[in-house]
Structure 1
């Protein structure tokens, strides 16, 4: 049986993100290798990963080499830093599916790069990235930026246990 995972904001090849987000790496080579290792430690070859944007700052050849190393079926929802490239560029770089827009997953989760406006009456949860180490204090938002999860994709089962209210409540 395959599992589903979510993650965002790797910024592969982006040396300035180390300082911007106080990432604990000496350089981008160390950061990129660590993030690939963390991904593959939890994601199996048959699993599906939704990457919620800002994947790589590298050229297509180097990006493709990283994508090829990562386990699973990879679905990119383009982030603000991914938009300088076309959907077909990302497909050529190795993603299995690419969306330029947020998507609804299982009729309850809005998957987007940037957090979306959610009023308290909306019966949905926004799984997002973009804001890195920050997060909203609301059960309607879950930030899956790498900084919150030790650079590992988060399993959907964990998310549903965390954000979907049980009937006993």
Structure 2
């Protein structure tokens, strides 16, 4: 799981103090880090704000990334249709969030979760920020060294070993 790559968004380097000298360096580094941990058969949930590039360049990036790719559209993705993202190379696209593994709510923006709700919200959108609650896990690239993180690692953060 991962979110907020912002491929092609030069200003994000300054906005989020990303350690890259150019958007090209950022793109190449993030592709390398993705492919270092994602196998050809792995399923990756991208929780939004994937690319600011046109469809051809977005498709070129997606074709280089390993795995079966699922996009949960973020605020910057919603200006384009589900069809656009599927044609670009995602295998599945959701305009909203989804429940995963019965206990995890995958969304782009963090969702309001009161303490009685039985879900953990895995989200992006807020980049380097973080909620101080075990009900939220931010998978924005800034928190994970620009590398997708395994669901098992996220699950271990909130579910004790004896309950897994």
State the TM-score, normalizing by the size of structure 2. Answer: 0.97
- Could you tell me which residue of structure 2 aligns to residue 19 of structure 1? 14
Q: Could you tell me how far apart the structure 1 residues matched to 2:162 and 2:79 are?
A: 44
Q: Is there any run of 5+ residues in structure 2 with no aligned partner, and where?
A: none
In the alignment, the residues of structure 2 paired with residue 147 and residue 93 of structure 1 have an alpha-carbon distance, to the nearest angstrom, of 24
Taking the aligned partners of 1:68 and 1:8, their CA distance within structure 2 comes to: 18
Which residue does 1:117 correspond to in 2?
A: 112
Please state whether the residue corresponding to 1:7 is helix, strand or coil: coil
- Alignment partner of 1:37 out of 32, 35, 38: 32
Of 83, 88, 109, the residue aligned with 2:83 is 88
C-alpha separation between the residues in 1 aligned to 2:159 and 2:114? Answer: 17
Rounded Cα–Cα distance in structure 2 between residues aligned with 1:66 and 1:159: 26
State how many pairs are aligned: 163
The Cα of 1:149 is off from its aligned counterpart by: 0.3
Deviations 1:89-120 (A, max 9, x none): 00000000000011011110000000000001
What is the rounded CA distance, in whole Å, between the counterparts of 2:154 and 2:11 in structure 1? 30
Distance in 1 separating the partners of 2:92 and 2:29: 24
* Secondary structure, counterpart of 1:154 in structure 2: coil
User: Please, which of 103, 106, 114 is the counterpart of residue 98 of structure 2?
Assistant: 103
Name the SS of the counterpart of 2:121 in structure 1.
strand
Per-residue CA distance 1:1-54 (angstroms, 9 max, x = gap): xxxxx0000000000000000001111000000000000000000000000000
| Structure 1: gaps of 5 or more residues | 1-5
Q: Runs of 4 or more off by more than 4 Å in structure 1?
A: none
In structure 2, the residue matched to 1:60 is 55
